[in-house]
Amino acid sequence: MGSTHSDFPATNRASEPTRPFPPNRASRPAGTLPPPATLPESTGAAPLSHGTIPNRNPVPVSLPGHPSGSDTLHPAGRHPKLLDRLGEALHARHYSRRTEQAYCHWVKRFIFFHNVRHPGEMAEPEINAFLTHLAVKEKVSASTQNPALSALLFLYRHVIRRNLGDLGKVIRARKPTRLPVVMTREEVKAVLASMTGDKRLMASLMYGAGLRLMECLRLRVQDIGFSRHEILVRDGKGAKDRITMLPASLTILLQAHLKQVKAIHERDVAEGWGRVQMPTALDRKYPNAPKDWRWQWVFPQDHRWINPTTTEQGRHHVDESLVQKAVRDAVAQAGPTKRATCHTFRHPFATHLLEGGYDIRTVQELLGHSDVKTTMIYTHVLNRGPAGVRSPVDGL
């Protein structure tokens, strides 16, 4: 039941559960890699795995040169493949599934860039050459180059177990300072008016409570506190919990939505299904919890999907791509010239609260920022900026 599915949403969540069922479609990280190639036997290193991303629930293995583990977990004479070891090392440190996918992708890019040489045969010069190629030839942004460097550092430190030396000569892309795209209240209202159904409710929650897209989709019934008008965001970005407000104007709509969801859940249970995936293997500790109403998703899928291996049926939360497409279409229909996405709703949430006179520390807690400096980027709206300066041409 613990298979990896790249099209389902996942963020950097430390205790993100695995998907118990296969997805409706398949995808892979950007950049198609060449077919697998066999490493020379002279390398003496563990073979590479050029297939799918390692399983999220791999069986613990004994790494070559490492005292822990059991050799009986692998067939005799077979060492775990390099990317399998990388996936196991990431999973053991509770990295998110999406981070595992990204790291494995960059490690494969690094290997094929150097003509399928094993990383054990390479070191700082090859890493510098690869990162320099990304920055100079492919002209990638800093947000693309930095994960590539992080993936290689993790590989050498925790899998190959080699301390790297000087990487100072690598050409790094300087990270630019950007201001967030902030929609006005009229623009937000127009975008929401162009949406319908549960997609509009999700977008309203993202704007009204400052939720990230995946934080909204991963809400469970017990996370909504109607009596206290609050929402508990569990295991958000950086594996942090926080409490934000439940907009009063959405209370009745959300209660009506949950009434429909509960009817669907009761029908699933009556048909012998209705189990939901639990975080951190809580279903082993509480066997009946997966069918409990409190643990169900607030925004479940419309249709059950079937695990072809176990024939089990279940519902996960709505796929992120469906909400992203709904917001994209609504923005195009509403007509604002700004590039707005699901995450853009967090920017007017913070900006409009600051304009309303709320303390920046309060906004910081509602957004889940670790450092107030991150929240201070929204204070640019508190002064009038260029709009408060009279141009000299207006005096002619």
**Catalytic (active site) residue 174:** no
Distance CA 260, CA 17 (A): 25
Catalytic residue among 95, 103, 207, 378: 378
Instruction: Clarify whether 343 is annotated catalytic.
Output: yes
Rounded Cα distance between 215 and 236, Å, is 6
Give the active site residue among 237, 240, 257, 304: 237
Three-state secondary structure call for residue 308: coil
What Cα–Cα distance (Å) separates residue 187 from each residue in 40, 56, 145, 196, 387? 59, 41, 34, 16, 19
346 counts as catalytic: yes
- The verdict on whether 315 is a catalytic residue reads no
Active-site residue, from 98, 234, 346, 352: 346
CA-CA distance, 274 to 262, in Å (whole number)?
Answer: 11
Bridge-based pairing of strands 242-245 and 224-225 is unpaired
Q: Tell me if 316 sits within 8 A of 302, measured CB to CB.
A: no
Annotated catalytic residue within 212, 316, 347, 352: 212
Does the active-site annotation cover 212?
Answer: yes
CB neighbour list of residue 288: distance below 8 Å, 6 or more residues apart? none
* Residue of 74, 240, 304, 343 with catalytic role: 343
The b/e string for 250-280 (b: 16+ C-beta within 10 A; e otherwise) is eeeebeebbeebeebbeebeeeebbbbbbee
Gap between the Cα atoms of 299 and 302, Å rounded: 9
Q: How far apart are CA 161 and CA 155, in angstroms?
A: 8
Residues with catalytic roles: 212, 237, 343, 346, 369, 378
